[in-house]
Amino acid sequence: MRVRSFMCILALWAVGVGPLLLPNFAQSAETEKFSEPIHIVVTIPVLKDFVQQIGGSHVQVMSLLSGLESEHTYSPRPSDIIAVRKAQLLVEIGLGLEVWVSALVKNAGSASLRVITTSKGIALIRDQSRDDVPEGATDAGHDGNPHIWLDPENAKIMMRHITEALIKVDPSHAAEYRDNQATYLRQLDHLQKDLAERLKTVADRRILVYHPAWPYFARRFGFRIIDEIVTQAGSEPSAHHLQELIRRIRKEGIRVIVSEPQMNQKIPEVLARETGARIVVLSALPGAMPGTETYLNLLRYNVMQLANALS
């Protein structure tokens, strides 16, 4: 195609149709080079959704987790190492959520890889599983609860980190990335208003949760977590703790037990059978259940399930 175009230009010049203007093949090659999507690996599905919302057609994103695994205990596969080695960006939550990321990055051995930690700058809630941490801890170390994305206000900060990272890698599309971010944030604001309106009629918002994934979500939407079945993912509650939970649920009239699809369902089933409380299965990660494929759908699903159960 280029040879044909070149010959046509020579022919026009030969018959006196204007000066010889050669096409800038170097510039065309450079344009083709940057038309390739940016290869990005993220740790959990919610980050994939954020990156795709901002990056659009300019990004190719792979999530290491599908949403059905536990982000705390995930074990990277050989294919994950290859994916990270080929990626330009790796996007994580941080805060010790993905304890396996450091080893993964080291094994991938890519000197050009940029790791983007999206929890930077977020005011943290103390991790209840760390009793040695002072109550006022708000630094970005491993002392805060890492499930920050379940508060949409935190999600806005996370998206800004992603937008800035994309602009650094691909400044030619900076305006588009900023526009995409602004559009998505407007959608998120609209959803928050709708959910707040739905919750106005819910007076009793007390819930028992499976493990400490929900403090940011509860604080934002006004739910009150009265206790947890386990304080750390992967652990099992003692018989004494279960008896105490049964006693408290009965005494205080707690109506809803929040379980998660990644957890052992037998334990909340025992509590529900002994107390008459209702089990509501929520997900902290998009894609774990039908109707939770995107972050917006995930928020809507979780809030509406609780609102309907508590009404």
Gyration radius from the chain CA atoms: 25
Q: What is the pLDDT of residue 70?
A: 81
- Percent of the chain scoring above 70 in pLDDT: 83
Domains and CATH numbers, the chain: 35-193 (3.40.50.1980), 196-310 (3.40.50.1980)
Q: What is the pLDDT of residue 18?
A: 47
Q: What is the pLDDT of residue 93?
A: 97
pLDDT band at residue 214, thresholds of 50, 70 and 90? very high
Q: Pick the more confident residue, 144 or 28.
A: 144
Residue 268 predicted with pLDDT over 60: yes
Q: What is the pLDDT of residue 303?
A: 98
Beta strands in 12-170 (DSSP E): 38-42, 59-63, 89-92, 114-117
Task: Give the number of other CB atoms < 10 A from CB of residue 190.
Answer: 11
Q: What is the pLDDT of residue 140?
A: 41
Residue 106 predicted with pLDDT over 80: yes
Q: What is the pLDDT of residue 238?
A: 93
- Percent of the chain scoring above 90 in pLDDT: 74
Reported for 300-303, long-range contacts at CB under 8 A and 24+ positions apart, including other chains, are 300/191, 300/194, 300/195, 302/150, 302/217, 303/195, 303/198, 303/199, 303/221
* pTM for this model (two decimals): 0.83
Residue 23 predicted with pLDDT over 60: no
Model pLDDT for residues 148-181, shown as the tens digit of each residue: 999 999 999 999 999 999 999 999 999 999 999 9
Three-class SS state of 22: coil
